[in-house]
Each structure stands twice: as C-alpha cells, then as structure tokens.
Amino acid sequence: MLLFVRENVIPAKRQREAIQNRGLDFSLTPENLVKLKAAGASAEMLQLIQTHARPAPPKPIAPALPTQLGDLQLTCAPAECEISVRGISRGSTAAGSLKLTGLPPGPATVEFKRPGDTGSRAAVSIEMGKTAAANAILEPDRQTRESFGEALFKKVMEALGGEAAVRESSSVQAEGSATVWSPDGIPTRWSLYMRNRPDRALFQLQGGGAVFHELAFVGRQFKTSKRLKDNDARELPTVFGMLRDRQLAGLIGLLNTPNFKMVANRDTDFVLTAEGSTQTLTIGLDNDFRPAQVKFRTATGLGSEIVTYSDYMQKGNLYYPKSIQIKADETPRGIEVHFDRVEVAPALKDTDYNLKGKPIPSLAR
C-alpha cells in the first residue's frame, strides 16, 4: 500500500476501486498512519483506508503489579485495648498485643481505647515491606480513679487490722527512743515515754547528764516541766505536736473525713492519693498495703511534710508502726521515734496525762 500511494501511477479512481474491492490486510495503527502520511496519502485516501482496514488488535493488558503493603505491631497496657487505624476498627489486643498485616503504606493514626480509661492516640508511618510499631499506656478516667481509690483504701484498712482496731490505736502508751532535729539540722537523741490519745498526751524525755523533761497536751494547749527552757522549750512542743498529729490513727481519721477524695490509678497499685480542698496526701504503701510514706502537700506549700511509717508490729488485730519519722519540707526540723514496747488502748484516767515530775516506771515492769 505504501508503494501504491508513493508511486501514484494509478488514477485515484482505480485506487479507490482496488481498496474497495480487495480490502486491506493491515490495521491503521498510529505507526501505520504516520507512514502513509509520509508516503503522500491524501486525507480522502486516509479516510478510505481507515474504513476498509482491519480492526486494530486489542492492546495487551499489562498484569497488575502487586501492591506493596506494610504491617503494624501494636501493644497497650493495661490489656485489653480496642484498636482503630485510620478511623477503621481493627479489633482488640490479645494479652496486650495485636499485629495487623497488609496495610497500605503512608501515615496513619492509631487509636487505643478501653472502657474506663481516657484513651490514647499514636501517629505512625507504615512502610512497604516493613513492620511499624506503636504502643500506649492508658490512664483511667476520673470516675475510674475514684473507684480504684475507694477500693485501695479498703485494702489499707484491712491491712491495718480493720476500722475497730485502728480506732483502738488512737490511745497508745509506748516506750523507746526519739531523735529530734532542730531547724538548724542539729540532732538530739532522747529516751522517750509516750502516752497519747486524741484529746490528751504526755511525753517524758530523758537525755544525757540526767536531763529530764516533760510535755503535757490538752487538745492543742500544752504545759512543760520547769527545767524545759531555751531552744528545747521552743522546739520540743512543736516536734512532739507533729508526732501527736501524725499517729497512724490520726492519719486514718483525717482520710475518713468528707474533705478528702481517694484516687488511685489501679486498685492493685501501691500509691494512694487523698485530694482535699487545701491539702493533698500522697500515700506510698508497702507490699502489705500498709502506709509506708505519706507526703503532705498544702496548696501554698507551707506546712508540707513527709511522714514515714515502718517496722510494723502486730498487737491483737492491729498492725502498728514501731518507727515513725516526720520531716518538715521547709526546714530541717523533724523527729524520728523507735518504740521498743507499745500498749494499745491502755486503761488510763485523765490525771494519768498530767505532768508527773519524775519518770514513769518502764512498761517492761
């Protein structure tokens, strides 16, 4: 056909008749169209060829290349969590873990949810042929934290022997030793005899050189022995007033007031927080869920202190700390006591809390 057009020795009429009568054994592909135009085919001839040419063969369909996908490894605590990726639910973790495969590459947002928790989001980049990772630690919402706090406080009360036992410990008679730190951080060691109940207290102190002092409290008011003077007269009523306030029964009584709301991250945690309007207590617990360290924080920071309870002993149903340390935040002032002997709910009269003028016989006798 190219020679037929290029030589142009046959009249156009006979060319048309030959094409119409014999037909064409080729297709008018874009490549063939270019060749015919170059040979000099007119527009009329090209139209005729297009009419009588064979249909163009279908273009081969290239096989679709497999899409390269990526994987995603997810972990969350506490288990189990509900997982969404790019807004589509992907199920829940098993034992805190979930692996998703065949995800389109690109940026993605992973949502971790769990009833009672606040939920969490993580941004990840999924890559072809690779495994991206995301993890979350979910925090309980306020309602759940209060529920955990109430449950944990019940464990604390059970660990101490129950409410009745703790109430009995509000009246204590004990003997041991005390170390008192002045505001300058200077320690003084004393032998200590203590009688303490909510409305009254008596402390007898003996130091080196036959020094003997007494302090008697009625409510917040106190009296001291005549020989208690100078720095001791200023400091000892303060630190022993701290010891009165921070007796274990006093702590539990404070926590039981409506002013405080108990919160905890889990009911199996060893940290309990008591939130009040003007004061917050962070209570660290030992392995038996008994108070080990209590941080008292005020809104202003003034009057904040740390109290440590240790060396618990059992008296009947009650567990009572034989060692108590109280340290003020703003000064080195503080007191640490170690009791060798403790009597709970002693049968004492009001007059037994008055100044005696001489040491009370040892509990051992």
Question: What is the C-alpha to C-alpha distance for residues 145 and 147, in angstroms, rounded to an integer?
Answer: 5
Residue 262: how many other CB atoms lie within 10 Å: 22
- What is each CA distance from 41 to 28, 38, 163, 194, in whole angstroms? 13, 7, 111, 125
Query: Partners of 287 in the beta sheet?
Result: none
Per-residue pLDDT of the chain (365 residues; tens, 9 = 90+): 888 778 777 787 888 888 888 888 888 888 888 888 888 888 888 888 888 888 877 777 766 655 689 999 999 999 899 999 999 999 999 999 999 999 999 999 999 999 999 999 999 999 999 999 999 999 999 999 999 999 999 999 999 999 999 999 999 999 999 999 988 889 999 999 999 999 999 999 999 878 899 999 999 999 999 989 888 888 999 999 999 999 999 999 999 999 899 999 988 889 999 999 889 999 999 999 999 999 999 887 777 899 999 999 999 999 999 999 999 877 888 999 999 999 999 999 999 999 999 999 876 54
Question: What is the C-alpha to C-alpha distance for residues 338 and 336, in angstroms, rounded to an integer?
Answer: 7
The one-letter code for the residue type at 288 is D
User: What is the bridge-based pairing of β-strands 131-137 and 70-77?
Assistant: parallel
Question: What is the C-alpha to C-alpha distance for residues 48 and 14, in angstroms, rounded to an integer?
Answer: 13
Name the pTM for this structure. Answer: 0.72
Q: Write down all domains in the chain, each with its CATH number in brackets.
A: 12-52 (no CATH), 70-137 (2.60.40.10), 144-353 (2.50.20)
